[in-house]
Amino acid sequence: MAEFSDRKLPPIPASEQYYNFFPAKYVTAYLESYLDSHIYNDQTLRSRIHFSTTVTNISKLPNKTWQITCTPNSQVFTTSRLIDATGLTSLPYIPNIPGQDSFRGLTLHHKSFGESSFLGDPNCQHVAVLGGGKSAADVAYAAAKAGKSVSWIIREGGNGPAASWEQRGRDRTRTRTTAFILGSRPAGCRTLFGLGSRHGWNGSCMDQR
């Protein structure tokens, strides 16, 4: 799901696709074009977005409209509809893992993945990825493609990419799933663990080698 119904995403070159996945630059270009091509009351969508702005107060007026005060310059907006989209899920969550304080390697959240240079670091050869969602699949694939030995760790419920595979022979199925995502043979993924309960991890899963 990478496009809006009123504007199709331009065709992606086959050479840039991997099982219908493609680089983020194509989505970025699409969204940039979408912002500039949609004009309402002589204003583009881009011109309606206020960057580098902090909301300092929200109040509901007697006429049932909302008043929003922002900085800088104490800007005030009034609207009949207000959507709270503050991005709580964008705050990094790192689970409490026994032994993590003594771990000598790099610990990184996916949010900082794009700024990290560990894929090109020859001293970093073993990578453990926690989680079974799309971001975990992205990191696991990127690490395997960079020649790293990858351990993809998915919780007992198998949530994430593994959930789309039938659960017969759980370990074999998950190994096949990982190999499919990483584009390598099952043996190319050194270890694949199922950890914890539905709501957390129960055990250490960092490789100190």
Please say whether the beta carbons of 139 and 145 come within 8 A. Answer: no
- Cα–Cα distance for residue pair 192/205, rounded to 1 Å: 10
Give the model's pLDDT for residue 96. Answer: 82
CATH number of the domain to which 173 belongs? 3.50.50
Give the residue numbers spanning the domain of 176. Answer: 100-195
In a domain, 209, yes or no: no
In a domain, 115, yes or no: yes
Give the model's pLDDT for residue 171. Answer: 46
- Look up residue 188 and give its DSSP letter: G
In a shared domain, residues 66 and 134: no
In a domain, 175, yes or no: yes
In a shared domain, residues 137 and 190: yes
Give the DSSP H or E segment for 155: strand 149-155
Amino acid at 54: T
User: If we measure between CA atoms, which residue out of 165, 129, 134, 164 comes closest to residue 1?
Assistant: 134
- Cα–Cα distance for residue pair 78/64, rounded to 1 Å: 10
In a shared domain, residues 75 and 114: no
In a shared domain, residues 104 and 191: yes
189 by DSSP, 3-state: which? coil
- Cα–Cα distance for residue pair 66/70, rounded to 1 Å: 13
Tokens of residue 57, six digits: 């107060």
- pLDDT under 50 in the chain at which residues? 162-209
Tokens of residue 155, six digits: 């919780």
Q: How many domains does the chain have?
A: 3
In a shared domain, residues 43 and 60: no
Give the model's pLDDT for residue 74. Answer: 85
In a domain, 41, yes or no: yes
In a shared domain, residues 162 and 107: yes
In a shared domain, residues 179 and 126: yes
Give the model's pLDDT for residue 186. Answer: 34
In a domain, 26, yes or no: yes
In tens, the pLDDT along 200-209 reads 333 333 333 3
Give the model's pLDDT for residue 132. Answer: 78
Give the model's pLDDT for residue 157. Answer: 66
In a domain, 143, yes or no: yes
93 by DSSP, 3-state: which? coil
In a shared domain, residues 115 and 185: yes
In a domain, 151, yes or no: yes
Give the model's pLDDT for residue 160. Answer: 55
Amino acid at 137: A
Contacts of 27 (CB under 8 A, 6+ apart): 2, 9
In a domain, 35, yes or no: yes
Give the model's pLDDT for residue 13. Answer: 93
User: How are beta strands 39-40 and 43-44 bridged, if at all?
Assistant: antiparallel
